[in-house]
Structure 1
Amino acid sequence: MVIAAFALAQLARDAGKAIEAPLWVHWGGPPTARMLRHSDDTFDPSVKSSIHKQLVKLAVCECMPSAAEETADPEGAEATYRFCSDWLRRKALQLKGVSPFDVVHQENVSYGYHRNVLGIKTTGIAIALCSIVSIAAAFAFNRFPVIELLLALAIAGYLAFAITERRLKSCADSYSHRLLSAVDAIPVSGSGNRRSRAVK
């Protein structure tokens, strides 16, 4: 039973990871990297400048792209933003349980859950509908599995209306916002995996 549960969880995670990259393309890039761009208005420019300065202070990169450099070399700037966002995600996991990263971790769990369930949404709805048909057929034999029918209907409705791309994007944006807002809480050790950047 434990092995089956683990296998199902792994299948859901694999399905979730499979839809992640295409969704990021649809959303304009990975949420955390996107929010680091000067062209993104999630954060006030002064707040974003503070985040950029803290990333340099943490020795994540030698310097962050200016707005002009981002316009001149969007690919180079994007590479820096993605490197920083990957570093931040790893650091947040190391600081899990430490305020404010406990909240960041909760947002990450919420995102992972919605991503994985969205990945298996079609399969889940198909299984729920098959269950509904099978349960409904039982009524023809004077059996009345009402609780099972209501449960199958609830699962189908939940997957159809509560698990959506829009909801997942909201979870992703909440996680990224929390993560970047917590940058100032990361202790400065002076030994980050510094990335140098050359603007073309």
Structure 2
Amino acid sequence: MDQFDLYTIKARLFPAIVAVVPAIALAVALIEFKGFDFSQVWATIGLAVLLYVFSGIAREAGKRMERKIFLENGGKPTFDVLRYEDREFSDIAKKRYLTFLSRKIGRPFPTMEDARRDPATAREFYNESAAFLRENTRDTQQFRVLFDENISYGYYRNLLGLKVPAILLNALVSLVSSAFLMNFHGPWSFDVASLKYVLVAAAIHVAYLVFVVTEQRVLDASRRYSRQLALACEVLIGYAE
């Protein structure tokens, strides 16, 4: 069982929480807190367990979304920032990184002609290079920027996976809140007016999901992560010298 490490909290748990924010707001508006009792301890424990379960759901939803994005964009992306047609790095920097990675994975790096003639073999080299770098950059303190970019990618990927159910839940919460407000003077034991804030939260929530949580945002986060992964070569080359 995975522990609640920083990656799990930020890249898996946070998307799950964001997805259900309107429901949390509705629950807070409907439940009266008249004092602390032992039942609230169990409720807190139950909430922690539910959040852990939701973090796993977010991860699985993100993985499904990732496969969908890969399929729509021609397959699993390779280490694109080191491909010859990509201009993220200079040719000199690319050659230095490719030469280093070639020594580490034990196979020659593809020339531009090789990549054009046999793209599948070139793809294998880039994939193996990325795998080598991931395995050798697990020190999250030394490679902090890389770790942060990995979290950013995981967050947007997992939240994108939850986007549709989150919007549906948002709509349900909005309907329930509107129904209570339409019957404002019913025999309710809670402050119905507070549901106006739930509707405001729901509006902000759906705007964030629609305009911020997009496939392009995931692709951009993926590219930023790839760039930092390539830059890790600078540190690893220094160790090798």
Class of the TM-score when normalised by the shorter of the 2 chains = 0.7 to 0.9
**Aligned with 2:140 (options 96, 112, 115):** 96
The answer to whether residue 129 in structure 2 is matched with residue 84 in structure 1 is yes
Stretch moving more, 77-86 or 19-28: 19-28
Q: Tell me the alpha carbon deviations over residues 101-126 of structure 1, each in whole angstroms, 9 at most, x when there is no partner.
A: 11100010011000000011011011
The structural deviation recorded for 1:61 is 2.9
Structure 2 residue aligned with 1:51: 97
3-state secondary structure, aligned to 1:171: helix
- Pairs within 5 Å for 1:67-82: 67-82=112-127
Cα distance change of structure 1 residues 47 and 173 upon mapping to structure 2, 3 Å threshold = same
- Counterpart contact for 2:159–2:213, Cα < 8 Å: yes
TM-score w.r.t. structure 1 length?
A: 0.85
Structure 1 residue aligned with 2:230: 180
Aligned length: 186
The answer to whether residue 113 in structure 2 is matched with residue 113 in structure 1 is no
Q: Tell me the alpha carbon deviations over residues 90-110 of structure 1, each in whole angstroms, 9 at most, x when there is no partner.
A: 2222x2111xx1110001001
Distance in structure 2 (CA, Å) of the matches to 1:70 and 1:139: 63
- Counterpart contact for 1:31–1:172, Cα < 8 Å: no
**Aligned with 1:8 (options 54, 67, 70):** 54
Amino acid of the residue matched to residue 170 of structure 2? A
Distance in structure 2 (CA, Å) of the matches to 1:133 and 1:161: 22
Distance in structure 1 (CA, Å) of the matches to 2:99 and 2:84: 13
Task: Provide structure 2 residue ranges, at least 5 long, that are not aligned to the other structure.
Answer: 1-46, 185-191
The structure number with the bigger radius of gyration is 2
**Identity percentage over the alignment?**
27
The structural deviation recorded for 1:173 is 0.8
Amino acid of the residue matched to residue 18 of structure 1? R
Cα distance change of structure 1 residues 28 and 182 upon mapping to structure 2, 3 Å threshold = farther
- Give the RMSD, CA atoms, in angstroms: 1.9
The answer to whether residue 199 in structure 2 is matched with residue 149 in structure 1 is yes
The answer to whether residue 88 in structure 2 is matched with residue 42 in structure 1 is yes
Stretch moving more, 174-183 or 42-51: 42-51
- Counterpart contact for 2:130–2:229, Cα < 8 Å: no
Distance in structure 2 (CA, Å) of the matches to 1:28 and 1:41: 20
Q: Tell me the alpha carbon deviations over residues 59-111 of structure 1, each in whole angstroms, 9 at most, x when there is no partner.
A: 12332111111112111111111111122122222x2111xx11100010011
The structural deviation recorded for 1:188 is 4.5
The answer to whether residue 181 in structure 2 is matched with residue 139 in structure 1 is yes
3-state secondary structure, aligned to 2:157: helix
The structural deviation recorded for 1:152 is 1.6
Distance in structure 1 (CA, Å) of the matches to 2:133 and 2:141: 15
Structure 2 residue aligned with 1:195: none
- Counterpart contact for 2:160–2:213, Cα < 8 Å: yes
List 4+ stretches of structure 1 deviating above 3 A. 25-32, 187-190
The structural deviation recorded for 1:163 is 0.3
Task: Provide structure 1 residue ranges, at least 5 long, that are not aligned to the other structure.
Answer: 191-200
Distance in structure 1 (CA, Å) of the matches to 2:86 and 2:235: 23
The answer to whether residue 68 in structure 2 is matched with residue 22 in structure 1 is yes
The structural deviation recorded for 1:37 is 1.8
